[in-house]
Chains A and B, each alone.
Chain A
């Protein structure tokens, strides 16, 4: 099988229950399958789609929905910035197609593959668009017959959480990354309890990475000190 499709299967597994649930909700809100397909193909951002559908059902204004969508999805700016590091001087047309499919899940998969080497923009593109196809099919299928499938079957609700756990493990390759992840985890939980919405993701990540860089620099300067007061005795 093509490596991009193979890499995308955990995403697809996780998208099926969420996509079906979204389809059921959208259909209950009075959306046709065409409208579901349109939103899933043009927006392609799970949580913001759920929010948009409930806002539509509650008669929210277009501006309110669009503004909310922007803020809910702003975290992708960080993910694309981080991916840009691995895609220096890549073809801008391809990058523009790739950008469309940057989600939490595809970011997690692609960033891990780039870290281990043996990955390129073409394969990353296949991951994004395989995931996108699964999302569109699952959401539309949910609109048709999602209500027939019992929710929470076979622990499938845990698929994406388990995927994120494993991908986080793959990122913990050096002590500074472990420290940064710990800071981000504590900050995100604290902020999630204080502020509504999902701004906690961006704020906690930015603060944690900044602290990580600061701590890394400090440790390095201690190591380089000529009196040997740092940990490096070489």
Chain B
């Protein structure tokens, strides 16, 4: 069992590392076409939004829509705070504080 575990973990590491490594190793060495650069430059906004939104409005397994989650309602003032202050540290602390208060109230 322990040897099997080590082999499984090593294989997990390999299949996780390869997709992280391939683009950095190859795409950095060639000049990329303009449309592809534009596409890559839009990926961060797209991926952050795609990671975030379902966390705010869906829950459960299988997932279902829930617009009453405190995660969503706390996100609104947190978003406004981030927009106004442009402060990452401040936003994290304010978000946590609001979420904590929301948990006490609900």
Contact = CB atoms under 8 A, between A and B. Distances in A.
A82 B32 CA distance: 12
Contacts of A90: 28
Contacts of A112: 44, 88
B16 A81 contact: no
A205 B39 CA distance: 10
B93 to A, nearest CB: 8
B47 A75 contact: yes
B45 A204 contact: no
Given A65-B12, A155-B103, A171-B48, A209 B25 contact: no
The size class of the interface chain A forms with chain B is 35 or more
A208 B12 CA distance: 29
Contacts of A192: 54, 58, 63
B11 A66 contact: yes
B49 A69 contact: no
A196 interface: yes
A66 B41 CA distance: 31
A155 B99 contact: yes
A84 B50 contact: no
B24 to A, nearest CB: 5
Contacts of B5: 35, 56
A43 B58 CA distance: 27
Given A158-B96, A170-B86, A200 B9 contact: no
Contacts of B71: 158, 161
A115 to B, nearest CB: 8
A13 B42 contact: no
A47 B78 CA distance: 24
Contacts of A77: 19-20, 22-23
B65 A185 contact: no
A9 B65 CA distance: 32
A80 B20 contact: yes
A91 to B, nearest CB: 9
Contact of B51 (A73, A104, A111, A152): A104
Interface string A189-226: 10011001000110011101110110011000000000
List of 4 A-B pairs having minimum Cβ-Cβ separation, nearest first: A162-B95, A155-B100, A158-B99, A84-B27
27 contacts: A39-B9, A48-B16, A62-B8, A69-B16, A74-B19, A76-B20, A80-B24, A83-B24, A84-B23, A84-B27, A84-B40, A88-B28, A95-B28, A100-B17, A115-B44, A155-B102, A162-B94, A164-B51, A166-B87, A166-B92, A169-B79, A169-B83, A180-B49, A181-B45, A189-B54, A205-B46, A208-B50
Interface of B: 2, 4-13, 15-17, 19-29, 31-32, 35, 37-58, 62-65, 71, 74-75, 78-79, 82-83, 86-89, 91-92, 94-103
